[in-house]
Structure 1
Amino acid sequence: MNLDIPGKFAPIVHQAQQVAREVFRPISRHYDRAEHAYPKELDMFASIMDGMNDGAADGGAGAGRLARSAGDTGTGNQNGTNMKTVLGLTELCWGDVGLALSIPRQGLGNSAIAAVANEQQLQRFGKTWAAMAITEPGVGSDSAAIRTTATKDGDHYIINGEKIYVTAGERANAVVVWATLDKSQGRAAIKSFVVEKGTPGMTVERLEKKLGIRASDTAAIRFHNCRVPKENLLGDPEISVDKGFAGAMQTFDNTRPVVAGMAIGVARAALERTQEILKTAGLDLAYQQQSWTTTAAVRELHLLEAELEAARLLTLRAAWMADNGQPNSKEASMAKAKAGRVGNQITLRCVELCASLGYQETELLEKWARDSKILDIFEGTQQIQLLIIARRLLGKSSSELK
């Protein structure tokens, strides 16, 4: 493996670093306190994020679909949209996770569009800022238990149900809603629909107050006899296992490495700041010493750095596989499970290592600890990721291994 970051992505990484340092960090605390206030400073950066996707219609925070470029022979090494998105968002989340989730046209719903939309839909919705609505009250992490319904009515579908914890649900221009065409047919009947903002029957019920990522709005949305054109059903309308839930779940194969990259970014921010604080306190962080000859704090930092590097390499592998058309469900879950867990572990441990400085609002360390927790939860909890990995390793279906 060549572990160097591809040189062609250097400008994107540099741009993202500048935004994180010069824009996100200075306003981070302000929008953490002013929950639900829209960060107007972000409007100018939508074009920068578009550059991360080369203006492609399958862009956005969701990266690209698991397929090679047209005309590719299947040989060689592809580094494309998935890798760019992971690298860029890692740097942006070094600045602020909530602000990174609030950049226009970079919603998680763009992931679903990239994963399962047909070419015509990619052209229609590729530039739309799309949120993603999956979670429902009482359903939790079991996406297959979705109760929101979509009933065919001529040239439209009528959607009824409630979704919660929709990131950018109020601000986005559209919401990708997961709903079932027929509850009796289980997973195979679950499809995703693009419901554009202002569609009659779609109502934002409330915005949630949260532990972290307060700069990002998180909405509860109700759908009551909400009519959407049949052309807004993403992918194939036929009910089948391959073209239904399995196709929709490919969305997660795209987004889980992205969320892992976000966790790596905020954890790296906490580690770097902790190193600066400990150096100021007079601790020697030199790597040439054996672990048993260093202080407990320095040894702990070295162990956390090793964990973070392991998560980073797993994440890059999952993104690379997506860019090269290789099925990456297991690897995406491995990256998400590792990065989500150690990201939260690192930020919390850094708060402890820095004592009163880590716990006070004079530093961003306490905020990063709060922000990091959601990255271990959304896009599938730690437990869900471990279950998916076990199924892939053992060759078991979801009904065989619950």
Structure 2
Amino acid sequence: MNLEIPKKFRALVNNAHQVAISTFRPISRYYDQHEHEPPKELDMLASVLDGFNEGDPANSAGAATTGGTGEAGDHGVRNGSNMGVCLGAMELCYGDVALMLSLPRQGLGNAAISAVASDEQKERFAGKWAAMAITEPGCGSDSAAIRTTARRDGDHYVLNGEKIYVTAGQRADCVVVWASLDPSLGRAAIKSFVVEWGTPGMELARLEKKLGIRASDTAAIHFQDCRVPEENLLGTPEIDTQKGFAGVMQTFDNTRPLVAAMAVGCARASLERLKELLADQVSLDYSQPVETASAIEAELYRMEAEWESAYWLTVRAAWMADNREANSMQASICKAKAGRVGNEITLRCAELAGSLGYTEEELLEKWARDSKILDIFEGTQQIQQLIIARRVLGLNSSQLQ
């Protein structure tokens, strides 16, 4: 394993780190307290940070789609867009998770387009900021329980249903909506559609008030007889009951490492800030056995080890995506690990900082609130463990529920 950041990404990582420190952190508390106020500072950053994916879904996370045979292929080992976006996300979330999620043209829906769209669609939606709409009032982590329908009518699909918890749902240019062509056929009939704002029948129902990531708008959207052109269906319109909705689920193989990277970045911010606050009382000596350390030192060593394992699992899953190796299990492993570790570290750091960790004098309490969602969206901890168990045991969803 190469333990160094690839040279080609060092400038990206450095620039993202500078944005996190000089732009995100100074405005972090303000937009946390002014929920639903669009962060105007991000507009000027959009053109600079288009280096993330050049504003083009073809170069965003997931552009080198996963689902291969497990071999890197004849192109040799490469570090591509998935690795670059994950490393950049880690640094930006070192500053603020919600502001990172609010960057124009960097939505989770862009990764969905990269994973499933045709070349023509990728070109047509280039430059669009795409949110992703999966969750419904009666459907959380079980994506197969989706009840939003898409009925074919001539050269359009008619969408009906409600989506909730759509990250950047109001500010994005369009939304990738998961809907069923035939609910009686279960998960096999689920497809994804790109629905642009302004389409008749698409209505913003509300913006949610949340525990954390308050600078990121989280929308509920209603679809009532919403007519979407057939060319906006991502992937094939055919229903393959043998394949299920593997094509749609490929989106998660691309976005779960990204969410894991966000958790890694937020946890690192908390851990480093805690060490700064305790610098006068704690002297870390990595040459000595942990058994000889004080209780607080041992706790810091443990959290650092957990963080590092989450970091490398995330890097591995992103590398596999870039090299066209099937990474479904590894994507779930890194998401499960980083989501849990991120929650534990940020909350523990707030606790160990004493009164400073509980007040708004420091960002520690905010990072603890923000990190909670990173263990929930893109599949909860329990869902990830279920997916991992199925892969390890060689069982399908009907055999292990």
Rate the CA distance shift 1:73–1:307 in 2: closer, same or farther, 3 A.
closer
1:156 maps to a residue whose letter is: H
Greater shift in the superposed pair: 147-156 or 37-46:
37-46
Within-5 A mapping of 1:100-139: 100-139=100-139
Tell me the equivalent position of 2:195. 195
Within-5 A mapping of 1:133-148: 133-148=133-148
8 Å CA contact 2:61, 2:81 repeated in 1: no
2:399 maps to a residue whose letter is: E
Structure 1 distance, partners of 2:78, 2:213, is 33
Q: Does 1:325 align with 2:328?
A: no
Structure 2 distance, partners of 1:141, 1:67, is 22
8 Å CA contact 2:67, 2:250 repeated in 1: no
1:186 maps to a residue whose letter is: G
How far 1:299 moved relative to its partner? 0.7
Rate the CA distance shift 1:324–1:395 in 2: closer, same or farther, 3 A.
same
8 Å CA contact 1:314, 1:331 repeated in 2: yes
Tell me the equivalent position of 2:382. 383
Q: Does 1:306 align with 2:297?
A: no
Rate the CA distance shift 1:168–1:242 in 2: closer, same or farther, 3 A.
farther
How far 1:63 moved relative to its partner? 5.6
2:251 maps to a residue whose letter is: T
Structure 2 distance, partners of 1:95, 1:62, is 24
Within-5 A mapping of 1:256-271: 256-271=256-271
8 Å CA contact 2:61, 2:254 repeated in 1: no
Within-5 A mapping of 1:317-396: 317-396=316-395
8 Å CA contact 2:60, 2:81 repeated in 1: no
Give CA deviations for 1:320-376 in whole Å, capped at 9, x if unaligned. Answer: 000000000000000000000000100001011111111110000000000000000
Tell me the equivalent position of 1:84. 84
8 Å CA contact 1:162, 1:221 repeated in 2: yes
8 Å CA contact 2:173, 2:196 repeated in 1: yes
Structure 1 distance, partners of 2:63, 2:57, is 11
Structure 1 distance, partners of 2:312, 2:176, is 30
Matched residues, percent identical?
Answer: 67
Rate the CA distance shift 1:73–1:143 in 2: closer, same or farther, 3 A.
closer
8 Å CA contact 1:133, 1:166 repeated in 2: yes
Tell me the equivalent position of 2:220. 220
1:234 maps to a residue whose letter is: L
Within-5 A mapping of 1:157-306: 157-241=157-241, 245-280=245-280, 282-306=281-305
2:233 maps to a residue whose letter is: L
Flag structure 1 segments of 5+ consecutive residues without an equivalent.
none
Flag structure 2 segments of 5+ consecutive residues without an equivalent.
none
How many residues in Structure 1 have an aligned counterpart in Structure 2? Answer: 398
TM-score by length of 1: 0.96
SS of 2:214's equivalent?
coil
How far 1:222 moved relative to its partner? 0.5
8 Å CA contact 1:113, 1:126 repeated in 2: no
How far 1:59 moved relative to its partner? 3.7
2:331 maps to a residue whose letter is: A
8 Å CA contact 1:60, 1:105 repeated in 2: no
Give CA deviations for 1:359-399 in whole Å, capped at 9, x if unaligned. Answer: 11000000000000000000000000000000000110001
Structure 1 distance, partners of 2:37, 2:60, is 22
1:213 maps to a residue whose letter is: I
8 Å CA contact 1:61, 1:107 repeated in 2: no
SS of 1:95's equivalent?
coil
Rate the CA distance shift 1:333–1:295 in 2: closer, same or farther, 3 A.
same
Tell me the equivalent position of 1:99. 99
Give CA deviations for 1:117-161 in whole Å, capped at 9, x if unaligned. Answer: 001000011321000000001112110010000000001000000
8 Å CA contact 1:98, 1:215 repeated in 2: yes
Rate the CA distance shift 1:236–1:126 in 2: closer, same or farther, 3 A.
same
Give CA deviations for 1:225-245 in whole Å, capped at 9, x if unaligned. Answer: 000100000011111147661
Structure 1 distance, partners of 2:389, 2:50, is 36
8 Å CA contact 2:57, 2:110 repeated in 1: no
How far 1:209 moved relative to its partner? 0.5
8 Å CA contact 1:314, 1:334 repeated in 2: yes
8 Å CA contact 2:24, 2:96 repeated in 1: yes
2:334 maps to a residue whose letter is: A
8 Å CA contact 2:92, 2:265 repeated in 1: yes
Query: What's the Cα RMSD here?
Result: 1.5
2:377 maps to a residue whose letter is: F
Structure 2 distance, partners of 1:126, 1:162, is 26
